[in-house]
C-alpha cells in the first residue's frame, strides 16, 4: 500500500514537472517572439513584409538589407558613442556601489541608520522630479550640455541606491568572522574587501553591472536631453530618427534595429547565469 502511494506521488510530481516545463517553454517563446519577428522582418523585402497573412519564416533571406542599413545607419559610430557612456558609467557605478554597500554593511558611524533610511526613500522618488533641476545644474551650472559627462558622473554614486542596497544585502550574508580573521593576519579593510568579500558576492556584482548596463542602454530620455549633436548620438537616439533616414523601407530599418539590440543580447547571454543567481539569492542568509 505504501509502495502504491509512493508511486502515485512520483507520477504526480512528474506530471507537475512536465506542466511547469511546458508553461516555462511557452512563456519563453512569447518573450523571444518579438526578437524573432524583428529578425525575420529584417530579412524580407518590403512587398513580402506587407503580405497578409504574414509568414513566420522568411521565404527569401535578404541579408543585403543589413549592408543597406550600414550604408545609411552609422552603426559603428553609434556603437562607439554608446559604449563611451556605458563603459565608464558601469565601471564607476559598480565600484562605488561596492564601497557604499560595504560601508552600510560593515562600518559603524553616526547617523548610519538615518542615512540608510533616507537613501531607501530615494528609491520611491520618481526620476521626473529631479530631471529638470539636474538639467539646469549640468547645463547652466557646470556648462556640460551636449557632452557625455551628465550621463556618466551621476554613476559615481552607485547608479541608484537599489544597487547599493543589493550589495549591502549580500555582504550581510557573509559572517564578520572572516573580516576579523583576516584583520588578525594583518589585512586592512581594502584588502579584506577586494580579496575576500567581493569574490564572495560575485553574483551581486554582476547583477549590479548588468542592471546599470540595461539602465543606460534604454535611457532615451536623458540622452536625448543632454546630447544635441548628431555626431554624438547613441543607439537610443539614433533609432528614434531611423524612419526619416530609411523612409518606408521597413526591412532595412528593422535590420538596423536588430543590429542595435544584438550587443545587449550577447552581453546578457554571457552574464545571465550569475544574473539569475544574484536575483534569486538577494537578501537570503547563509
Label residue 81 exposed, middle or buried (CB < 10 Å: 0-12, 13-18, 19+).
Answer: buried
CA angle 65, 69, 70 (to 5 degrees): 120
Integer Cα distance of 97 and 143 in angstroms? 27
Integer Cα distance of 92 and 32 in angstroms? 32
What stretches in the chain show pLDDT beneath 70? 1-7, 242-248, 271-286
Closest C-alpha to 249, from 67, 69, 56, 8: 69
Query: Where in the chain does DSSP place strands (E)?
Result: none
With a CB cutoff of 8 Å and minimum separation 6, the contacts of 176 are 106
- Backbone torsions φ then ψ of 19, nearest 5 degrees: -65, -45
Integer Cα distance of 235 and 259 in angstroms? 10
Model confidence, pTM? 0.80
Integer Cα distance of 165 and 38 in angstroms? 36
Give the position of cell 542592471. Answer: 211
Integer Cα distance of 210 and 275 in angstroms? 8
Name the 3-class secondary structure at 62.
Answer: coil
Residue 26, Cβ neighbours under 10 Å: how many? 10
Integer Cα distance of 43 and 195 in angstroms? 49
Distances (CA, A) of 252 to 48, 50, 53, 237: 13, 14, 21, 18
> Rg of the chain's alpha carbons, rounded to an integer?
25
Give the pLDDT of residue 283: 47
Label residue 78 exposed, middle or buried (CB < 10 Å: 0-12, 13-18, 19+).
Answer: buried
Closest C-alpha to 169, from 93, 100, 123: 100
Integer Cα distance of 132 and 124 in angstroms? 18
Amino acid at each position: 500500500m505504501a509502495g502504491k502511494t509512493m508511486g502515485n506521488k512520483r507520477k504526480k510530481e512528474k506530471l507537475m514537472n512536465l506542466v511547469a516545463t511546458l508553461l516555462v517553454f511557452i512563456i519563453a517563446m512569447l518573450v523571444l517572439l518579438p526578437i524573432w519577428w524583428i529578425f525575420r522582418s529584417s530579412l524580407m523585402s518590403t512587398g513580402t513584409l506587407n503580405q497578409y497573412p504574414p509568414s513566420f519564416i522568411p521565404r527569401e533571406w535578404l541579408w543585403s538589407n543589413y549592408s543597406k542599413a550600414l550604408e545609411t545607419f552609422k552603426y559603428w559610430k553609434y556603437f562607439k558613442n554608446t559604449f563611451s557612456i556605458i563603459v565608464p558609467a558601469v565601471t564607476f557605478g559598480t565600484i562605488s556601489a561596492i564601497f557604499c554597500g560595504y560601508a552600510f554593511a560593515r562600518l559603524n558611524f553616526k547617523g548610519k541608520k538615518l542615512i540608510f533610511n533616507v537613501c531607501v526613500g530615494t528609491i520611491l522618488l520618481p526620476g521626473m522630479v529631479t530631471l529638470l533641476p539636474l538639467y539646469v545644474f549640468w547645463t547652466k551650472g557646470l556648462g556640460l550640455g551636449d557632452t557625455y559627462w551628465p550621463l556618466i558622473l551621476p554613476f559615481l554614486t552607485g547608479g541608484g541606491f537599489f544597487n547599493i542596497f543589493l550589495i549591502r544585502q549580500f555582504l550581510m550574508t557573509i559572517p564578520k568572522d572572516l573580516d576579523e580573521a583576516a584583520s588578525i593576519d594583518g589585512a586592512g579593510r581594502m584588502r579584506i574587501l577586494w580579496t575576500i568579500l567581493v569574490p564572495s558576492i560575485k553574483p551581486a556584482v554582476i547583477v549590479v553591472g548588468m542592471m546599470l548596463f540595461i539602465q543606460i542602454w534604454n535611457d532615451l530620455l536623458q540622452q536625448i536631453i543632454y546630447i544635441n549633436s548628431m555626431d554624438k548620438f547613441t543607439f537610443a537616439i539614433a533609432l528614434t530618427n531611423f524612419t526619416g533616414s530609411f523612409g518606408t523601407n521597413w526591412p532595412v530599418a528593422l535590420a538596423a534595429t536588430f543590429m542595435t539590440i544584438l550587443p545587449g543580447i550577447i552581453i546578457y547571454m554571457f552574464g545571465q547565469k550569475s544574473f539569475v543567481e544574484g536575483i534569486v539569492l538577494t537578501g537570503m542568509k547563509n
